[in-house]
Amino acid sequence: MNSIVKKAIAAVAITKGIEKIQDMRRPKRSFASRISPVLALAGLGAGVFYLSKTGRLQPLIARAKAMAGDDDAVLEDSLRQPASATSV
């Protein structure tokens, strides 16, 4: 084999070895820090499901809509009015 090819293969192997050692020395995230976002999302979903099943979710949604300034009433009123014959 050509000596240049041998040197190139050795350089790649050394580079890969250094990267592997650096990866092994890098601190890993703990199990709790990796699983906490999943548990938080599952807890939120379970809470919404529980509120939905017990019937306590609808008043919360109505209150949130009232706080946001419900503009649906204006839209509903405009949809209830018949179209005028003059507008084409």
Phi first, then psi, for residue 69 (nearest 5°) are 80, 80
14 band by pLDDT with thresholds 50, 70 and 90: very high
Q: Is the C-alpha dihedral spanning 19, 20, 21, 25 positive or negative?
A: positive
List the chain domain ranges.
3-77
Q: Residue 68: pLDDT above 80?
A: yes
Q: What is the mean pLDDT of the chain?
A: 85
Nearest to 70 by CA among 58, 78, 81, 61: 61
pLDDT per residue as tens digits for the range 19-62: 999 999 999 889 999 999 999 999 999 999 999 999 999 988 88
Q: What is the pTM of this model?
A: 0.48
Q: Residue 70: pLDDT above 70?
A: no
